[in-house]
Chains A and B, each alone.
Chain A
Amino acid sequence: GAGVSQSPSNKVTEKGKDVELRCDPISGHTALYWYRQSLGQGLEFLIYFQGNSAPDKSGLPSDRFSAERTGGSVSTLTIQRTQQEDSAVYLCASSLAGGPEQYFGPGTRLTVT
């Protein structure tokens, strides 16, 4: 079946602008995670949605970052007033309820100029 999809694949924006990144999880997966991977670095947790529970926002680096998940499926990560240090690949992953295996999307490469 279809895997996790993300859009856009690449986004170049000017410093100070807002951006929205989209994630479509695998159908039937109730858990959705956002991670960030800076150039040549590891993966850093940002936020986690599980069903109807309140999201775990403990990894968001500042209040410029927010995310929502509508209808228990698609998620949007929003970065307001982008800064150059926000440049990274933003990865989304999803998993089945009760199953820990997380499957990643292809990521969105964000470049802030």
Chain B
Amino acid sequence: GENVEQHPSTLSVQEGDSAVIKCTYSDSASNYFPWYKQELGKRPQLIIDIRSNVGEKKDQRIAVTLNKTAKHFSLHITETQPEDSAVYFCAASKNTDKLIFGTGTRLQVFP
């Protein structure tokens, strides 16, 4: 079955710097790759996603890139702000199937 690895497990950046979180997946049939942000005690919130027919997608300060050949995808946050501090999860799935999640990255943005 699908296996998703995520790193780093923790990431600390200064406000205004960029943050990058990387994930790899094992099942070449996976075609949907969402990213979720989870603040302490809250539900996971979908922040951006990418499908396998696209290499890059951007939404304001966040972007996701996908390398299907290498089975890698990454989340990029530019001009980080303290409110970006949270745990970020990547995931992979085939169409509308179950999501297989990475283990999460705790991002801390220091003012």
Chain A residues in the interface with B (C-beta under 8 A): 31, 33, 35, 41-45, 48, 50, 56, 59, 91, 93, 95, 97-107
Contact = CB atoms under 8 A, between A and B. Distances in A.
A41 B46 contact: no
Interface in B27-61: 32, 34, 36, 42-46, 49, 51
A45 B103 CA distance: 13
Interface residues of B, number: 23
27 contacts: A31-B96, A33-B99, A35-B101, A42-B89, A42-B104, A43-B44, A43-B89, A43-B99, A44-B101, A45-B99, A45-B100, A48-B97, A56-B97, A91-B44, A97-B96, A99-B96, A100-B34, A100-B93, A100-B96, A101-B34, A102-B34, A102-B46, A103-B46, A104-B36, A104-B44, A106-B43, A107-B43
Given A41-B103, A42-B103, A102-B34, A33 B98 contact: yes
Contacts of B95: 100
Interface of B: 32, 34, 36, 42-46, 49, 51, 89, 91, 93, 95-104
A5 B32 CA distance: 25
Contacts of B44: 43, 91, 104
Contacts, number: 56
Contacts of B104: 41-42
Contact of A101 (B49, B100, B101): B49
B32 A100 contact: yes
A7 B65 CA distance: 37
A16 to B, nearest CB: 28
Nearest to B4: A42
A41 B91 CA distance: 14
A59 B93 contact: no
Given A41-B103, A42-B104, A100-B32, A59 B43 contact: no
A5 to B, nearest CB: 11
Given A100-B32, A107-B43, A45 B89 contact: no
